[in-house]
Structure 1
Amino acid sequence: MNSEFFWLRYLNFEEKVVKLTEYIAFNDEQKTVYSPYIADLIIQIGVEIEALSKEVFRKYGGQWDSDSYPQFDKDCLSYLEQSLSISKKIVNIANPLIEFSSSKLYPFKGFNYTGARAKNWKKAYMALRHN
Structure 2
Amino acid sequence: MAVAYAMQAWQLWNDGRAFELIDPTLGERGDVSTIMRCAKVALLCVQDNATDRPTMTEVTAMLGSGGGDAAVLPDPRRPPHFRLRVSSSDDDGGWSESRMRSSHGTTSCSTNELTITTIQEGR
TM-score, scaled to structure 1: 0.27
More helix per residue: 1 or 2?
Answer: 1
Larger Rg computed on CA atoms: 2
TM-score, scaled to structure 2: 0.28
Higher relative contact order (CA 8 A, sep 6+): 1
More strand per residue: 1 or 2?
Answer: 2
